[in-house]
Structure formats: structure tokens, C-alpha cells
Amino acid sequence: MAHAFVSYLRVSTERQGRSGLGLEAQRQAVADFLAGGAWRHVAELVEVESGSRDNRPRLSEAMALCRLHGATLVIAKLDRLSRDAAFLLNLQKAGVRFVAADMPEATELVVGIMAVVAQAERKMISTRTKAALAAAKARGVRLGKPENLSNREAGQARGRARQAQRAEERGQDLTPVIAAVRAEGVVSLRQIAAALNVRGIPAARGGAWSAAQVRRVLAVCQLVNTSTC
């Protein structure tokens, strides 16, 4: 009997859901993972919900289908489920097998480590944001809505906010990958860069990873002390 799979795709905004932005890439990643062999696709469930929220009806439906069909839940990336450690670990206890197309070799131990690291990262983002706002206020920077600033100040503020958000989002995406790499015994910046290149993950501006680029990502993530390089 062919093995059964239920695929789960998630995007964070209604706009992404309507445009298909992000969905097609996830769908293709799942299709590539399932290519070849005998398998049965039970259903595809699509959710429009933030990764920071764990109340997701479509995911609950996908898990129910997995239990009913004895199927495996397949996702494109581990962070499509959640960045909350307790949620991921509870999912493991729920009797539902799941696999991430970007990391099919991840064992339950590695997934548990990544979940804990991801939870810590989410807390650190909140702490860093509050600290940055407090420091800016102490320097006399005017805080408030962009419309209360001059056009130039507002534009600069929006640009800095977008850049910081992109850096943090990429750091979040890379957190579980780097955690898995380090769980395999890879510790130096040069080794981590090589592991990311082997996995086919492009650097922020494309091309191959270098030790310096890894250092910058880790500075954003605050995952490790760079003295390990």
C-alpha cells in the first residue's frame, strides 16, 4: 500500500494568500520532495496565519487527516509549522508523523533542539526591539507614528524598519538550519558557511556563503558566541 501524505502550506498575510506569493514555492518544494516512489497525496491544506500564533484550524484539520489516514504531514520548511517550542513538541506527542522537505533527515532530537532555539530567538527579538526603542528614546530620537515625522525622517525610519525586519526574518529562517548544522558537530564560521553552501541555501545577496556572512547572521540571531570561529 502506498504511503500517504498530507501537505500543509502556510503564508503570513492575506495578500500573500490571494497572490499565491510563497505558496507556489512551498508547493514545488513539497512536490520535489515527494518526486518518485509510490505515495498517495490525501489532501493539501493552505493556511493564512502568522507563525507566532498556534491556533490554526487548517493545521488542525491536516493533523486530523493524518491520524485518519495514517499519513505523514509534509511541509516545505520547518518554520511553516511554528517557531514555538512547546507547540512543536506537543505536535510530536500528538501521534502525527511530520517531515520537512528542506530537512528530511532531521531526527526528533534535532527537531526538539531547533524548536527550543527558535523559541529563544522569538523571545530575543521582542527583547531586542524593546531595548532598541528605549536606547533610541534615551538618545533623544523622536518615537511615534511616521506621519508625525517629516517626510524625510519618515522615509528613513521606514527604510531602517524594513531592513531590520528582513534581517530578522532571514535570521529566523536560518535559525533551525544552523541549529541542525551545529547539532552535527559543525562549530566554526567557515564550517557553517560550507554546510549552508552544500545545502544550496544562497547568501543574503545571492552567491556562496563566507565566514563573514555567517558572522553577520549569527550577530542578528544572537545564537552563539563568535569566539567559536
Residues 6+ apart with CB under 8 A from 194: 209
Q: Is the pLDDT of residue 146 over 60?
A: no
CA–CA gap between residue 73 and residue 94 (Å, rounded): 12
Residue 98 near residue 91, CB atoms below 8 Å: yes
Q: Which residue has the higher pLDDT, 190 or 124?
A: 190
Q: Are strands 98-100 and 72-75 parallel, antiparallel or unpaired?
A: parallel
* CATH code 3.40.50.1390 region(s) in the chain: 3-100
Residue 59 near residue 81, CB atoms below 8 Å: yes
Q: What is the pLDDT of residue 225?
A: 40
Q: Specify the pTM.
A: 0.48
Q: What is the pLDDT of residue 81?
A: 60
Q: pLDDT tens digits for 25-47?
A: 899 999 998 887 778 899 999 98
Which of 89-98, 143-152, 210-219 has the highest average model confidence (pLDDT)? 210-219
Mean pLDDT of the chain: 75
What CATH number belongs to 3-100?
A: 3.40.50.1390
- Angle, helix 85-93 to helix 108-138, in steps of 10 degrees: 160
Q: pLDDT tens digits for 77-111?
A: 876 565 556 566 666 677 788 888 888 877 666 66
